[in-house]
Amino acid sequence: MSKWLKRFYLFVIMVFLYAPIVTLMILSFNESRTSVKWGGFSLKWYQQLFESRTILAALGNTLLIALLSAVLATLLGTSAAIAISHMKKRKQSFCMSIVNIPMLNAEIVTGIAFMLLFITLGDLLAFFGIHFEMGFGTVLIGHITFNLPYVVLSVMPKLKQFNLSMYEAALDLGAGEGQAFFRIVLPDIMPGVLSGFLLSFTMSLDDFVITHFVKGLGADTLSTLIYSELRKGIKPEMYALSTIMFLAVFLVLLAVNLKPQGGVKNTN
């Protein structure tokens, strides 16, 4: 293939991937309420965004759930990866396939399974006089669970590369187990841990299906809010918000990526 043709192909795919994003950005400046016609340039949706109680609450939920689920999944997943990496081959692949289920299974099945679990749990607890309903907590549990495999898969390769004699050397030199872990092992596998964290955060932020089934009625995230607005027409404030979020992330990631060697590289 000639160089020009390659460039062109890359360009076409990029247009395909980014066309809807550009569309949404343009719509966020559309004075008119419907996406059908262009009513002139306006910043009013950006202003109204900050006055909208529902959108801001959903944004808060989304960010909080993404952050907490990413942190907890990273803690849980990293410890799991350490444990799994020490297992015998057969046990190891068994554990990996269990942890991987939420990633490989259909989201709708995972979501439904959670819903059935939580509703049964609610009935069971009600029997003992404890009140339990689906909401923020159940969404968080769901997100931690589907984030787990991403963390484990990010950390695993780094652990495999890690030279165990370094750790043993630290112990021989008198370091405690904890000290050896935090001083020697953790810095070495850190890129994997970080990329697991970032991936979890992104997956959680973008999830709709699982949240749809386990949110009950309390905890709307941006995704579920958008879905419920679908039938009445999306509020343009939503376009404004996603434009801001997108640009913010774009700038952060750009800065991280342009800084040589400083970035969180992908694990493989």
Partner 1 sequence: MYKRSVSYPCILWSAAFIIIPLLFIFYYGLTDRTGAFTLSNLAAIATAENSKALILSLGLSLLSTAICLLLAYPLALILSGSKIGRSGFIIFLFVLPMWMNFLLRTLAWVVLLDTNGVLDTLCKLSGLPRFKIINTPAAIVFGMVYDFLPFMILPIYNVISKIDINVVNAARDLGANSFQTLYKVIFPLSLPGVISGITMVFVPSLTTFVISTLLGGGKILLIGNVIEQEFMKGTSWHVGSGLSLVLMLFIIVSMALSTKYDNGEGNVL
Partner 2 sequence: MKRKVLLVCGCLTAAVLFTGCGGSSAGENGEVNVYNWGEYIDEDVIGMFEEETGIKVNYKTFDTNEDMYPIIANGAADWDVVCPSEYMIQKMMDNDLLMEINYDNIPNISNIDPAYMDTVKSFDPDAKHSVPYLWGTVGILYNKTMVDEPITGWDCLWDEKYADNIVMMNNPRDVFAPALISCGYSLNSTDDQELSEAAALLTRQKPLVLKYTTDEVRDMMIGEKAAIGVIYSGEATICKDENENLEYVVPEEGSNVWLDCWVIPTTCKNKENAEKWIDFLCRPDIALKNFEYIYYSTPNAAMLDLIEDQELLNNDALFPDTSVLSRCETYHYLGEDVEEKYNNLWKQVLSE
Binding site for partner 2 (CB under 8 A): 34, 36-37, 64, 68, 71-72, 75, 119, 122-123, 126, 133-137, 140, 176, 178-179, 181-182, 216-219, 228, 230-233
The smaller minimum CB distance to partner 2, of residues 92 and 132, is found at 132
Rule CB under 8 A: choose which of 32, 105, 161, 163 binds partner 1.
105
**What is the distance between the alpha carbons of residues 78 and 25, in angstroms, rounded to a whole number?**
37
The smaller minimum CB distance to partner 2, of residues 119 and 245, is found at 119
Using CB under 8 A as the binding rule, the residues of this chain from 188 to 227 that contact partner 1 are 195, 199, 202, 205-206, 208-209, 213, 222-223, 226-227
130 SS3 class: coil
Smallest distance, partner 1 to C-beta of residue 174, A: 15
41 SS3 class: strand
User: Does residue 117 contact residue 132 with C-beta atoms inside 8 Å?
Assistant: no
Q: Give the contact letters, 35-64, x = binds to partner 1 (CB under 8 A), - = no.
A: x-----------------------------
Q: Is 21 left (phi over 0), alpha (psi -120 to 50) or beta?
A: alpha
User: Does residue 222 contact residue 62 with C-beta atoms inside 8 Å?
Assistant: yes
Is residue 140 part of the contact set for partner 1 (CB under 8 A)?
no
Instruction: State the maximum Cα–Cα separation within the chain, in Å, rounded to a whole number.
Output: 73
